[in-house]
Amino acid sequence: MTEWDRSRIRELERRLRAFRDTCRATTLAEVQHATRSPFHVLVSCIVSLRTKDAVTREASGRLLAMAPDPAALAALEEDAIARAIYPAGFYNTKARQLRRIGAILAAEHGGAVPADREALLALPGVGRKTANLVLGLGFGIPAICVDTHVHRISNRLGLVATRTPEATERALEAVLPRDLWIDINDLLVTFGQNRCHPTSPRCSGCPLDDLCPRRGVTRFR
């Protein structure tokens, strides 16, 4: 289906890495580098859903300073969690979910985050995207986290031709070398936030211009 052979994918990777080096690191990449903690990655990822990166950085930092482990998180009142993560999107819902996550991890997983997709998916507010991010960034287990940026840009590039994030995940597993599965999320999120925007990508001068068929792109700058 795709004309993306291995050497073209490596060229894509090289350019995406060079581009990322020119940008500020995402909050989740910073959390991973600073802590190597699955719990910190999980909490930051929940806070980040439907939330701007700058808000996620401040909000998850405040909460993790108050609750550095699951038991401490479970011991907080929901109101206190909500105040800590405000103005993250859906802060009241996330506060309820985070408190329950802390309680479940403390009671059922020995106070640790499980390195298991099914166990992660059983936690409140944790979908496939978050579970895969925790597996990858938290544990170094190869998993492709497909968020809106990964789904959109993979289709524009013609790496995949899919309608849903779940289908994109399966298609990317078939086309990407395994050593890229974890990092592709951060590479494409950074690229999506700074160049290949949802509604009007900045195609003029794009470093991927000669690699990109711009599939589905009707308006660009």
Q: Which residues bind to ligand SF4, rule: CB under 6 A?
A: 156, 195-196, 201-203, 206, 208-209, 212, 214, 217, 220
Residue number with CB closer to ligand SF4 (178 or 219):
219
Tell me if residue 79 is catalytic: no
Phi, psi of 51 (to 5 degrees): -140, 140
Residue number with CB closer to ligand SF4 (138 or 201):
201
Residue number with CB closer to ligand SF4 (3 or 118):
3
User: Going by C-beta distance under 8 Å and a sequence separation of 6 or more, which residues neighbour residue 132?
Assistant: 117, 143, 144, 145, 146, 169
In the complex, least distance from residue 193 CB atom to ligand SF4, rounded to whole angstroms: 12
**Per the residue annotation, which of 147, 179, 186, 209 is the catalytic one?**
147
**Per the residue annotation, which of 129, 179, 186, 209 is the catalytic one?**
129
CB 144 within 8 A of CB 187: no
Q: Could you give the angle at which helices 38-48 and 27-35 cross, rounded to 10 degrees?
A: 170
Tell me if residue 129 is catalytic: yes
Cα 108–112–117 angle (5° rounding)?
A: 80
In the complex, least distance from residue 20 CB atom to ligand SF4, rounded to whole angstroms: 14
Residues with active-site annotation: 129, 147
